């Protein structure tokens, strides 16, 4: 249970590495490996979507599939803004500036706003009688958005930890690895969502 606090702590000394630089490089490499595994998951999901769309066009949905709810465009903007505030938080953490706290807090707020908008998108589709059992189009829509939302929710754990420490200005030039790893994960989720959203948008045509 102490794993996450140690990864994102500003000063985690109990490691098998003999220097701060080695510890920093190992943390960053571990995050890159983790992101590659996640990328394979998202890519395989997209390929599955495209295969179903092409091979089962007749059962995709009765009539023409509707475009994704407009509210997803707003949630996309919110996620892009959170990626920007995360970038600013990382730059501030690298310099040891107190602004790291406010930018991390802004990122957290935008992440929660994104999830709220995603929930409203689900409600909108359900009100339009497009449920997971309606057809392949609706089923894949919920799989795409749900898969991404689960990873955003999972990302809230390190985001909360780094935000709390950034608010106390615990990160600085010699140790900002916690913010760096969180930023890498967050930028990945941003990019993954853009690809998923475009796939949903093109798949409805």
111-128 confidence digits (pLDDT tens): 999 999 999 999 988 888
Q: What is the largest CA-CA distance in the chain?
A: 63
Specify the pTM.
0.83
Per residue in 180-202, pLDDT (tens digit) is 999 999 999 999 999 999 888 87
- Any idea where the domains of the chain sit in the sequence? 3-203
pLDDT of amino acid 3: 46
Task: Categorize the per-residue pLDDT at 76 as very low, low, confident or very high, splitting at 50, 70 and 90.
Answer: very high
The percentage of the chain sitting over the pLDDT mark of 90, rounded to a whole number, equals 52
Per residue in 80-112, pLDDT (tens digit) is 999 999 999 999 999 999 999 999 999 999 999
Higher pLDDT, 162 or 28: 162
pLDDT at 45 over 50: yes
> Could you tell me which CATH class the domain 3-203 is placed in?
mainly alpha
pLDDT at 144 over 60: yes
CB 101 within 8 A of CB 169: yes
Tell me, rounded to whole angstroms, the distance of Cα 147 from its chain centroid. 10
- How many Cα atoms sit within 13 Å of 176 on the Cβ side? 26
Task: Categorize the per-residue pLDDT at 1 as very low, low, confident or very high, splitting at 50, 70 and 90.
Answer: very low
Q: DSSP H helical segments within 69-135, as ranges?
A: 71-95, 99-127
Higher pLDDT, 1 or 173: 173
pLDDT of amino acid 140: 80
> At which residue do the structure tokens 């991390």 appear?
104
């Amino acid at each position: 249970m102490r794993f996450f606090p140690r990864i994102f702590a500003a000063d985690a000394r109990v490691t098998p590495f003999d220097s701060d630089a080695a510890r920093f490089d190992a943390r960053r490499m571990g995050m890159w490996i983790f992101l590659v595994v996640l990328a394979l998951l998202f890519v395989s999901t997209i390929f599955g979507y495209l295969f179903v769309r092409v091979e089962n066009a007749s059962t995709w949905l009765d009539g023409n599939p509707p475009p994704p709810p407009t509210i997803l465009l707003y949630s996309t903007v919110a996620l892009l803004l959170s990626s920007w505030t995360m970038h600013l938080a990382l730059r501030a953490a690298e310099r040891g500036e107190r602004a790291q706290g406010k930018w991390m807090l802004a990122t957290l707020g935008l992440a929660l706003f994104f999830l709220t908008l995603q929930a409203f998108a689900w409600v909108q589709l359900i009100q339009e009688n497009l449920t997971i059992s309606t057809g392949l189009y609706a089923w894949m829509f919920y799989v795409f958005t749900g898969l991404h939302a689960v990873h955003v929710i999972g990302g809230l754990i390190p985001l909360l930890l780094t935000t709390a420490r950034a608010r106390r200005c615990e990160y600085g030039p010699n140790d900002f690895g916690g913010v760096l790893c969180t930023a890498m994960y967050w930028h990945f989720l941003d990019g993954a969502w853009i690809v998923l959203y475009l796939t949903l948008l093109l798949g409805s045509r």
